[in-house]
Amino acid sequence: GHSVISANFMYSECITLESAPDIPDNVKFASFMFLNCYRLKKAPKLGKLINTSHMFRNCKTLQTAPIIPETVENMARMFDGCDLLQGDVIILSKRVRNAERAFTYSKYLRRIYLDFNSKTYEAFERAGLTEKQKLLNIELRPLEEVRYDESE
């Protein structure tokens, strides 16, 4: 059945993992889920997660971030140590309360789209991410990228 709601530490330290199945909507907690999965190159779709803290921490070869769903509230250290993370990050959630060190060492990131009139933006401000990262209001996100992401 679909009764599992926590996948905390599920693949943690699994250093041979290169890809992972999409996360079902019933799973809400994924802290440290892929901690130190050094070979994980492609992130799964995140379903309806609430807690994604430390989720991809030290995933040294992860190249693109998954879309952050509307349900996410905790992004603390979500991509901390993801040195090769690049491209754009799309954050649909307006209710992120903690974004501390969410993108530490991700120096190749291009842009982060989020709602400037939201708790998420306030959390990014508190975390000092407004100076370091190139934040753009989600309204400015190009339409062709939306279509592209949804058809993947």
Give the total residue count for the chain.
152
Q: How far apart are CA 126 and CA 129, in angstroms?
A: 8
Of 5-9, 37-41, 116-120, 132-136, minimum mean pLDDT range = 132-136
> Closest Cα partner for 34 from 49, 17, 50, 51?
17
Confidence tier at 48 by pLDDT (50, 70, 90): very high
The pLDDT assigned to 2 comes to 62
- Token digits of residue 24: 């079902």
88 three-class SS = strand
Burial status of residue 28 (CB atoms within 10 A of its CB: 0-12, 13-18, 19 or more): middle
DSSP-derived pairing of the beta strands 108-114 and 135-137: parallel
Share of the chain above pLDDT 70, in %: 92
- Token digits of residue 147: 């279509």
Report yes or no: 63 and 40 within 8 Å, Cβ to Cβ. Answer: no
Mean pLDDT of 110-115: 94
User: pLDDT tens across 131-149, in order?
Assistant: 777 899 998 887 655 444 4
Of 7-11, 48-52, 133-137, minimum mean pLDDT range = 133-137
Confidence tier at 10 by pLDDT (50, 70, 90): very high
Question: Whole-model pTM?
Answer: 0.89
User: pLDDT tens across 62-82, in order?
Assistant: 999 999 999 999 999 999 999
Task: Tell me the pLDDT of the chain averaged across its residues.
Answer: 91
Q: Which residues of 125-135 are buried (b: 16+ CB within 10 A; e: fewer)?
A: eebebeeebeb
